[in-house]
Amino acid sequence: MKNEPTKSSGIPVIIIILVLVGVVVGAWFLYNGSKGAGNKTVSPTPGTSQTKPPATVNPNAPQGATPPNVLGEPAAPLTLEEFADFQCSACASAHPVMKEVRSIYTNKQIRVIFRNYPLPMHDKSYDAAVAAEAAGLQGKFWPMQGQLFSNQQTWSTAPNYRELWNGYAEKIGLDMAKFQSDVAGIAAKSRVDQDIARAKGMGVGSTPTIYLNGQSIPYTEVNVPAMRRIIDAELQKTAGQQQSAPANVGK
């Protein structure tokens, strides 16, 4: 009597193979997923505070519009230089902060320079900068700056934004014929272009970007308490340097 080989079921083998295939496929997806996550970078949105500005002012950058739009005395020990876009919401938020900071310190302590840096992503920002510079040709840049920032949400979405700007110009007492002529002329545009050239020469990539005595202030610090702390520390530093200067004379 022949001994017939015992037939074994192939089902467990199939199950083992399927499990192994599942493990291999799962490991492949896990590897690629982690690889993709490791290589992924979050690109900063142009024109926002996510783009880190250069830490210091490039001394070889173009000077920008001359004379600049400035408040404060030339001999003031501190200089705040702001690069801003009139259609940038972060710049509009920074505007009252800068205004309050200016009111805290005297013209002998700090001078504030505003630089136009309209970004291509904002369709009306360049023209708004030109309008502000046209007002500046009548000695009223700062009042026009205030109008543009405080009413940003209105004009930035309005099809008749130029009419609104004319209204702001009338409100601050501009000669309207001259204002409209300057808006269309070369002088105001040239000043904007010179500020843009300075911003690009310094590597500024976002707005607002603010420097204190050539050192950048992080956007997270653009609030009144933080800026007061930074400015007060710099004032103490410059005062100490001035007090120690005479002691070194003749040595």
Strand partners, 215: 56, 212
- The per-residue DSSP string of 111-130 comes to EEEEEE---TTSTTHHHHHH
Phi and psi based region of residue 234 (left: phi greater than 0; alpha: psi -120 to 50; beta: remaining): alpha
Q: Can you tell me the distance from the alpha carbon of 141 to that of 157, in angstroms, rounded to the nearest whole number?
A: 23
- Encode pLDDT of 26-65 as tens digits: 444 444 433 333 333 233 344 444 467 888 888 899 999 9
Residue spans of the domains in the chain: they are: 69-241
pLDDT of the residue at 49: 43
- DSSP E strands: which ranges in the chain? 69-71, 78-84, 110-116, 209-212, 215-217
Q: Return the structure tokens found at 52.
A: 């880190």
pTM: 0.77
- Encode pLDDT of 176-203 as tens digits: 999 999 999 999 999 999 999 999 999 9
* Domain covering 69-241 assigned CATH 3.40.30.10 in the classification: yes
Q: Does the pLDDT at position 9 exceed 90?
A: no
> Taken in order 50, 46, 201, 81, is the CA torsion positive or negative?
negative
Smallest Cα–Cα separation from 221: which of 43, 47, 97, 125?
97
Q: Can you tell me the distance from the alpha carbon of 178 to that of 181, in angstroms, rounded to the nearest whole number?
A: 5
Helix or strand holding residue 35 (H, E): helix 11-39
- Encode pLDDT of 86-136 as tens digits: 999 999 999 999 999 999 999 999 999 999 999 999 999 999 999 999 999
